[in-house]
Structure 1
């Protein structure tokens, strides 16, 4: 298994406008977590200008699909996004 980081650059209006899309976004995240694709995710603080979601899988397909279907992206709260493979080597839950 591999790890992939979905990195969002957040729009300036992210904090102000996310409320109307938050429940749909979190429901997507919950489903991805329940099936073992999404491991961890959240926005940076002070400033809230980026967010990182860590996915686990054979390919980056789940991370890309999440971004492409995210209501935050569809409604302009994400300025840009990318997925990068992350070569994790150690951690309390790491299963090499």
Structure 2
């Protein structure tokens, strides 16, 4: 199952992130090496959100990531949310479909 972690970024995110960037990236690399984090990054034009794609049996790894991310801990992220993502098309799409979603 896939999970999307979405960050709503606060004002001044781009200017403020540099002092926490290496710690944030180390956390992301660790999650990736464990196989939890597939990919992640910011949305551009404007840089007001970030999205991370997690995989696993539960949303817990994504929630733990956000709870320990220095961007969250130091107020660069105004709000974060984890939601299950039911994939239906693509090479990595899941075999099961959530009963309440249709493409």
- Segment drifting more, 46-55 vs 85-94: 85-94
Alpha-carbon offset, residue 95 of structure 1: 5.8
SS for the counterpart of 2:46 is: coil
CA RMSD of aligned residues (A): 1.0
Instruction: Tell me which structure has the larger Cα radius of gyration.
Output: 2
Give the structure 2 partner of residue 37 of structure 1. 36
1-structure distance, mates of 2:90, 2:26: 27
**Larger RCO, structures 1/2 (Cα 8 Å, 6+ apart):** 1
Unpaired runs of at least 5, structure 2: 96-103
**Normalized against structure 2, the TM-score is what?**
0.88
- Segment drifting more, 84-93 vs 11-20: 84-93
**Normalized against structure 1, the TM-score is what?**
0.94
Alpha-carbon offset, residue 13 of structure 1: 1.1
